[in-house]
Amino acid sequence: MSAIRFTNARIVCPAGGIRDGELLVEGDTIVETLSGEAETIDCRGNTLAPAIIDVAAFAADKAACRRGGIARVALMPDQSPVLDDPGIVRRAATMGKPELWIHPLAAATKGLEGRDLAEMAIIAGAGARAVATGRRWIADSGIMRKVLAYAGDCGLTVITHAEDAGLTGDAVATDGLTATLLGLPSAPAIAEALAIARDIMLAEETGARLHIRQVTTRQGLDLVRAAKRRGVAVTCGITPAHLMLSDIAANDFRTYAHLSPPLRCEADRQACVAAVQDGTIDVIGSGHDPRGPEEKRLPFADSASGAAGATTLLALALRMELPMDRLFALLAANPARVLGLDGGTLEAGKPADLILFDPGAPWQISESRDGNTPFDGLPVQGKVLRLFKGGNEIVG
């Protein structure tokens, strides 16, 4: 059995805090003591932390995940074909190994059409870690109640997209000055709060676990905060884009800023930053949804929503200036809990999924290398040096 002794490391653990010293790995597990000889890796003062678990990405890009320090990806069901069949889910769960572990999020309804429930129990047996509504909100409250109840019986979390489709329609922006000046189809930000309010009430009534993939407005965050105080099993996530950018990033019809949900006003952005700091937001994810030039080099309203985010996730999250152990709770420990995974910390007995990174290493985000991103050209700090999955280094 192979063993590794990481020495001279700045060790960051969401459960154990921050310390300087060494970390021991035997086989695929973190251990307190070694039973024999071990390879020594001198970390030279760099930071050793749990590998990132990326919740709710739309694509599993091995190279981008390697650069971003991501060892596990929860893959959204919006694939071709849709992840609504046990065979398709099983294939998705194995296609990235050993370099990248993919945890499929099964479609909550057949074809993601919001009408007929998927066979959740069978799909869970095929490897699904949760069920999701995909890019859409399920408008039929009766169907959504059944989804939550059925998922709860199967022990699965339901991951939702929170925008009331009756209000959003074909909108590509949030109501406000930017949308008005650009003449873009827009919808009120309250569309998010309306969707969240209903889904939280149904989750509370059924006792199901609910994870809202992205909450991006003050009103939506207030609803989540209040539900947590009542003991509702609800968690929520966000991407760096909605923490760092407001709707003015879409000026000049910049389609790289066409996202779903759309960028919000500055007051909502500031509310999101506060919600990360006070613990209302549980997960920071990449929202990795890369688009090619044929989908982005179009008039704003005709372009596809989405941006690449896997490579840049760590560097952008570091700009939040949170305590490092708190940051890796958002990037690893909390995502593990949402998905029911045993990991996300550096405690003894946990999987040896690790990243070694230099938090001060400068680099510049580049669309040509990192994919279509609203952060093209932004100088950042924080570079992944090495990535380990189950004690094995992932290279390339």
Answer yes or no: are the C-beta atoms of 175 and 263 closer than 8 Å.
Answer: no
In a domain, 172, yes or no: yes
**How many domains are there within the chain?**
1
Question: In the prediction, which pLDDT does 89 show?
Answer: 95
In a domain, 286, yes or no: yes
What residues are paired with 130 via a beta bridge? Answer: 105, 157
What is the spatial distance between Cα 74 and Cα 71, in angstroms, rounded to a whole number?
10
In a domain, 272, yes or no: yes
> How many residues belong to the chain?
396
Nearest to 272 by CA among 236, 309, 325: 236
Q: Using 50 as the pLDDT threshold, list the residues of the chain that sit under it.
A: none
Tell me the per-residue pLDDT of 110-139, one tens digit each, with 9 for 90 and over. 999 999 999 999 999 999 999 999 999 999
Nearest to 265 by CA among 168, 170, 174: 174
Phi first, then psi: give them for residue 19, nearest 5 degrees: -150, 165
Question: In the prediction, which pLDDT does 11 show?
Answer: 98
In a domain, 194, yes or no: yes
What is the spatial distance between Cα 208 and Cα 389, in angstroms, rounded to a whole number?
31
Question: In the prediction, which pLDDT does 19 show?
Answer: 97
- Residue 255 vs residues 135, 292, 304: alpha-carbon distances, Å: 18, 12, 8
What is the spatial distance between Cα 184 and Cα 247, in angstroms, rounded to a whole number?
12
Answer yes or no: are the C-beta atoms of 249 and 294 closer than 8 Å.
Answer: no
In a domain, 317, yes or no: yes
In a domain, 46, yes or no: no
Give the domain CATH number at 250: 3.20.20.140
In a domain, 164, yes or no: yes
Tell me the per-residue pLDDT of 173-185, one tens digit each, with 9 for 90 and over. 999 999 999 999 9
User: Residue 61 sits in which domain range?
Assistant: 51-342
Question: In the prediction, which pLDDT does 368 show?
Answer: 86
In a domain, 252, yes or no: yes
Answer yes or no: are the C-beta atoms of 107 and 77 closer than 8 Å.
Answer: yes
